[in-house]
Amino acid sequence: MALDNDIPFNRNFPLKSGVVDRPVPGVRRVLCDNPGPFTFTGTVSYIVGEGRVAIVDPGPDDDAHIAALLDAVRGETVTHIFVTHTHRDHSPAVPKIRQATGATVYAEGPHRAARPMHEGEPPRNKESNDLDFRPDVALTDGEVVSGEGWSLQAVSTPGHTANHMAFAWRERSLIFVGDHVMGWSTTIVVPPDGAMIHFMASLEKLAARPERLYFPGHGPEIEDGPRFADFMIRHRRAREASILHRLAKGDADIPSIVRASYIGIDPRLVSAAGYSVLAHLEDLAERGIVVTDGAPTIAKTYRLLVPLG
C-alpha cells in the first residue's frame, strides 16, 4: 500500500547553498550543503528581523555554512539563537555562532529520550543526536521571546524528538516548524528519541493554531500550514491502518510490515521506516490494540489484540 501519493508534496526548492534569500519581509534563509535522504537539499537556517536579529537552527558543524550565516548578518548584531531540536543537522553549529556573536541560545532543553531504553535495544544513535547541546535559556510552551521588531512564541511540539519546539511569529502569521512538518517528505519518528503519540498530538496542535505559513527545517515553505498538517494527520492514520491490515493477516515482525506498507521505498530509508513502524506499534500497544512479548522493540513480533471492525 503506497501512501505518499495522498500528500501534496512540494519538492521544488531551487535555493542554492550559501545563498541568502528573503521569502517574506523580516525572514531570510541560508541553505547548508548537506543534502541526503533525510535532509533533502540540506538544512535551512533562518534569520529573523533586521539590524538586531535572531538565527533559527544554525545547522550542523559545517564551517562553510557557519561562514555563510555570519556573512549574511555582517554589520548586524545577532542577539538570539533559537534551536528547534537537537539532531546533528540542526544544533551543532551553535557553539561557533555563539562564540562569534555573543548571542543567547534558546531551546526547549538538552536532547533526551521520549522513553527509557528497553532491554535488548541497540544503543541510541549518537551520530544523529547532539548530546552536548545545552541552551542558555530553556523555554516552556507559550513563552514569548522578543527582539528588535519581532517576537517569537515557543510552541512545544514533541514527537520527532522529545525536545522539539516550533517558534511562532504570531503577528506575521508564520511559524518555524523545524522537522515536525516538512513540505517535501513525511517526518521520521525514531524511538526512543521520538514517540508517535506525541508526534500526532503535536500535529493536531499545529493544525489548530492560526499561523498559515510554515517554514520547515528542510525544503520550501508551506503556504497553508494547518491544511498540510491535516494531510499529515490523515497520512499517519492511514499508515496505522495499513499496519493493522497486515497484522489482521497474522503475526508479523517489523521487516514484514515495512515490506507490506512501504511499497517502492528508497532502500536508504528502509531502516528509518522500520523505526517509524515501531513508533506506530508502541502507540498501538499503549492503546491495547496490538501486543508483543515484553516491551515493544525493533526485533519483536507483533499480533493484533483487537479484531478490526
> Cα(93)–Cα(110) distance, rounded to whole angstroms?
15
Res 121 pLDDT > 60: yes
Q: Which of 164, 177, 170, 193 lies closest to 279 in space, CA to CA?
A: 193
Calculate helix-pair angle for 225-247, 270-286, nearest 10 degrees: 80
CA distance 46 to 284: 37
Confidence of residue 309 (pLDDT cuts 50, 70, 90): low
* Mean pLDDT (whole number) for 206-220: 98
| Alpha carbon distance 34, 40 (integer Å) | 8
Q: What is the mean pLDDT of residues 174-202?
A: 96
- 134 has pLDDT over 50: yes
Q: Which of 6-20, 160-174, 278-292 has the lowest mean pLDDT?
A: 6-20
Strands 174-178 and 290-291: unpaired
DSSP track, 230-241 = HHHHHHHHHHHH
Cβ(203)–Cβ(181) below 8 Å: yes
pLDDT tens digits, one per residue of 273-308: 999 999 999 999 999 999 999 999 999 999 999 777
What pTM was computed for the model?
Answer: 0.95
> What is the per-residue pLDDT for 6?
63
* pLDDT score recorded for residue 2: 42
Q: Which helix (H) or strand (E) holds 110?
A: none
Between CA 274 and CA 189 the distance in angstroms is 10
Q: Which residues of 269-302 are buried (b: 16+ CB within 10 A; e: fewer)?
A: beebbbbbbbbbbbbbbeeebbbbeeebbbebeb
Do residues 236 and 200 lie in contact, with contact meaning Cβ atoms separated by under 8 Å?
A: yes
pLDDT at site 246: 96
122 falls in which pLDDT band (50, 70, 90)?
confident
Range 221-230 average pLDDT: 97
Residue 5 confidence class, pLDDT cut points 50, 70, 90: low
